[in-house]
Amino acid sequence: MAFTQYCVDTTNSCTPNIGGTSVSVTCGVGSVCQKYVRYRSFDNVNNAESVKSALVRIDKQAPSGGSISYPNGNTSSPISVSFSEGSDGGGSGIGTRLLQRSQGTLQGNKCKNYGAFATIATDPTSPYSDSVSGPACYKYQYDVADQVGNHAVYTSSSEAKIH
């Protein structure tokens, strides 16, 4: 092999005309891209092989359209938490789903001093019944990742209060 030429397009129809063997294929943040790398090599007497093609798919788009809901205000245990993962559009597909909870202190009827969110269930079914104790306040979030690690975190302004 004397040299190789390549090109990149979205229709699998370009004619390789760039010399080299290292190809950069990019995709903007928040996008799902599908591009073709077309290439051919030449020998020392300039005979060309037929054009070959490789499909490159890049997923930089997080899932979207999901939600989470639970009681706002005074409630009792277990707390019913409903959620939806949404979709990953044309991306790699939904991967891991994490239901997470943060606990705060309940003073009078006010919630304060929430801790960090911690995972309470992996790939749970909605609605999820969370047995908790009081007096305390609870917030929930739903962290949805696609197959390549793009995350969407669905939140709510609700505060579930257990007296």
Q: For residues 101 and 37, state if they share a domain.
A: no
Q: Note the pLDDT tens digit of each residue in 53-110.
A: 999 999 999 999 999 999 999 999 999 999 999 999 888 999 999 999 999 999 989 9
Mean pLDDT check: name the lowest of 5-9, 26-30, 55-59, 116-120: 26-30
Q: For residues 76 and 20, state if they share a domain.
A: no
Q: For residues 103 and 147, state if they share a domain.
A: yes
Domain extent for 7: 3-59
Q: How far apart are CA 83 and CA 161, in angstroms?
A: 19
CATH number at residue 75: 2.60.40
| 97 membership: H or E segment, kind and range | strand 94-107
Q: For residues 54 and 91, state if they share a domain.
A: no
Q: 116 pLDDT exceeds 70?
A: yes
Joined tokens for residue 90 = 């044309």
Q: 1 pLDDT exceeds 70?
A: no
Q: For residues 156 and 140, state if they share a domain.
A: yes
Asked whether 63 and 150 are in contact (CB, 8 A), the reply is yes
Q: How far apart are CA 138 and CA 161, in angstroms?
A: 7
Query: Please, what sign has the CA dihedral across residues 122, 126, 132, 136?
Result: positive
Q: For residues 54 and 71, state if they share a domain.
A: no
Quote the number of domains for the chain.
2
Task: Tell me what the mean pLDDT of segment 127-152 comes to.
Answer: 97
Q: Is the peptide bond before 124 cis (omega within 30 degrees of 0)?
A: no
Q: How far apart are CA 87 and CA 66, in angstroms?
A: 7
Q: Return the pLDDT at 61.
A: 95
Q: For residues 41 and 72, state if they share a domain.
A: no
Joined tokens for residue 118 = 């911690």
Q: Return the pLDDT at 54.
A: 97
Query: Is this structure's pTM higher than 0.85?
Result: no
